[in-house]
């Protein structure tokens, strides 16, 4: 059983076609709803993991219950899947069960379901942007750790930038560092999305959400140099970033090609061993917060659907805490110094 790309999205393929008929109907329904290709792909791979487990465990979808999904969680933990990945796959299981059977997944004896949680009357305490409603339906979940955003330091960013040898690569990193773009958003950019004359950028993010960002001068200069000196002229693809050498020259840059840009430098430069693409986006969010940008504006700039996602940049990183503590500690030490 495997996932394959089709003209309309993704589908599952197996030796026995009847094993994946419902799964492919489900994926086709997602495509008809207008969900993005990336979302369709994520559902396809989640279904692949789930159906492989069903087959290995000798389970059948109509007889599934939340209690039996405990075994699925155990299997995922043995494979060291991240808690957020497990929860996403559990959501896919519930949606797929509902699609096939037309009903809600039964709990069954032996299931450990999340307890009801009530934050209090009135508005949300963290943001104050919306009213709190009781959740009537609780789905099976695993606990996800709350981690702090740990951006790159200024020295790490400078060291990484010094390692770049192409204007294309410099423009890609600047898009993440100065505009907070995701990897997929960078790869999806088209020439028509870049307005160098008015110094602005049109971005199509998750869920088809569109946003505009200004082009800072260093990024604008890097893009101009890339278009003038590196990008092959008269090519057919509308994509902004293309492969610059080899047999696939002038074809759109792939996800694997983008990952290799960062992976090569993490391996060769010890100082930037944690510098992946998304960490540059985190650095953008942290820098904007330090500069005093408000939550709502930062949410729009980063393309977040949920303001709670943006809150992680408001919380101080470990390095920020250490720096502020050091400043305060010096003042406290002076206060309690003994006069000699």
pLDDT tens sequence across 98-147: 999 988 888 766 555 555 554 555 555 555 555 555 554 457 788 887 77
Residues 340 and 319: their CA atoms lie apart, in Å, by 35
Look at residue 203 and give its three-state secondary structure: strand
Residues 179 and 194: their CA atoms lie apart, in Å, by 13
> Environment class of residue 161 by beta-carbon count within 10 Å: exposed (0-12), middle (13-18) or buried (19+)?
middle
pLDDT (average), residues 330-339: 79
What is the structure's pLDDT at 14? 81
Quote the DSSP letter at residue 166: -
Asked if pLDDT for residue 27 goes beyond 50, the answer is yes
Cβ atoms 139, 91 nearer than 8 A: yes
CATH of domain 154-321: 1.10.443.10
Look at residue 156 and give its three-state secondary structure: helix
pLDDT (average), residues 288-300: 85
> Which strand (E) or helix (H) includes residue 210?
strand 210-214
Residues 124 and 163: their CA atoms lie apart, in Å, by 45
According to the 3-state scheme, what is the secondary structure of 19-81? Answer: HCHHHHHHHHHHHHCCCCHHHHHHHHHHHHHHHHHHHHHCCCHHHCCHHHHHHHHHHHHHCCC
Look at residue 11 and give its three-state secondary structure: strand
If you average pLDDT over every residue of the chain, what do you get?
84
């Amino acid at each position: 059983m495997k996932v394959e790309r089709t003209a309309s999205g993704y589908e599952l393929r197996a030796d026995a076609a009847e094993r994946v008929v419902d799964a492919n109907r489900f994926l086709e329904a997602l495509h008809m709803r207008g969900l993005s290709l990336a979302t369709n792909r994520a559902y396809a791979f989640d279904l692949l993991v789930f159906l492989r487990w069903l087959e290995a465990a000798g389970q059948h979808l109509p007889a599934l219950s939340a209690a039996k999904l405990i075994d699925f969680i155990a299997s995922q933990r043995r494979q060291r899947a991240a808690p957020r990945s497990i929860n996403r796959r559990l959501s896919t299981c519930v949606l797929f069960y509902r699609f096939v059977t037309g009903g809600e997944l039964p709990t069954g004896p032996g299931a450990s379901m999340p307890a009801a949680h009530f934050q209090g009357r009135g508005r949300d305490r963290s943001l104050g942007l919306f009213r709190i409603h009781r959740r009537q339906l609780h789905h099976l979940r695993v606990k996800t750790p709350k981690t702090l955003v740990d951006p790159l330091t200024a020295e790490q960013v400078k060291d990484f930038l010094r390692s770049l040898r192409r204007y294309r690569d410099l423009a890609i990193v600047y898009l993440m560092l100065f505009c907070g773009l995701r990897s997929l958003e960078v790869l999806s950019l088209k020439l028509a999305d870049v307005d160098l004359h008015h110094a602005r950028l049109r971005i199509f993010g998750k869920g088809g959400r569109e946003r505009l960002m200004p082009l800072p001068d260093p990024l604008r200069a890097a893009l101009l140099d890339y278009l003038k000196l590196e990008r092959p002229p008269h090519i057919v693809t509308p994509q902004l970033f293309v492969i610059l050498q080899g047999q696939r020259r002038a074809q759109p840059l792939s996800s694997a090609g983008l990952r290799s840009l960062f992976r090569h430098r993490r391996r060769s430069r010890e100082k930037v061993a944690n510098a992946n693409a998304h960490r540059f986006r985190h650095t953008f969010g942290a820098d904007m917060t330090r500069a005093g940008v408000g939550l709502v504006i930062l949410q729009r700039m980063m393309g977040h659907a949920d303001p709670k996602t943006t809150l992680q940049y408001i919380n101080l990183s470990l390095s920020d805490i250490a720096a502020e503590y050091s400043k305060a500690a010096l003042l406290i030490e002076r206060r309690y110094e003994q006069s000699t």
